[in-house]
Structure 1
Amino acid sequence: MDRYGLIRSTGAKGCSPDNAAAEGFFGRMKTESVHPEHWEERTRDEVLALIDDCIRWCNHERIKRSLGWMGPVQYRQSQGMAA
């Protein structure tokens, strides 16, 4: 992170607001995407494809009330924050 001048999107140890959001996302991803697909019977590439599909769905299709019933990408575009 330091080498490329990037800032972590989750907080440091003990910073619960950031960590709770990240943990909530990964918990939902495992519950909704990976576990129902019996990941232990899948290849590494198949699991990575499931994870990629889940992330793409969360960013582009999953609507949230807190974002005015839009998905994250649609909301950012409506605010002029994304192309």
Structure 2
Amino acid sequence: HPLIHSDRGFQYTSRAFKRKLDTAELTQSMSRVGRCIDNGPMESFFGTLKCEKYYLHKYKTFEELSTAINEYIHFYNYEGYQKR
């Protein structure tokens, strides 16, 4: 099953959210208690995504936004400059 990783915010630990994950056949992963650094790379990526893509354009439909995000993920992974 695909994996969804989050922090331990109340919205991610609720029974309702767990049921939605089960329905969608997603496996849940959460950062350790008191270890916000566990999700640091993804927090950094989402900050970059928002600054370089999301805030620079108004999307008229969800599909348009979804396409833009998928294109950006491809760019980020295969073409963008990344410090390693």
Band the TM-score falls in, shorter-chain normalisation: 0.5 to 0.7
In the TM superposition, residue 27 of structure 1 has moved relative to its aligned partner by 1.1
Query: Are 1:37 and 2:50 matched, yes or no?
Result: no
Which TM-score applies when normalising by structure 1?
0.58
Match of 1:48 in 2: 66
How many correspondences in the alignment?
Answer: 62
Does 1:57 find its partner at 2:75? Answer: yes
3-state secondary structure, aligned to 1:65: coil
| CA RMSD across the alignment | 2.6
- Name the counterpart of 1:16: 36
Q: Which amino acid aligns with 1:36?
A: L
Runs of 4+ in 1 over 3 A off after TM superposition: none
TM-score between both structures, scaled by the size of structure 2 = 0.57
Structure 2 unaligned blocks of 5 or more = 4-21
Give the number of the structure whose residues are more often strand, by fraction: 2
Percent of counterpart pairs with the same letter? 25
Structure 1: stretches of 5+ with no match in the other structure:
67-83
Asked which structure has the greater RCO (Cα within 8 Å, sep 6+), the reply is 2
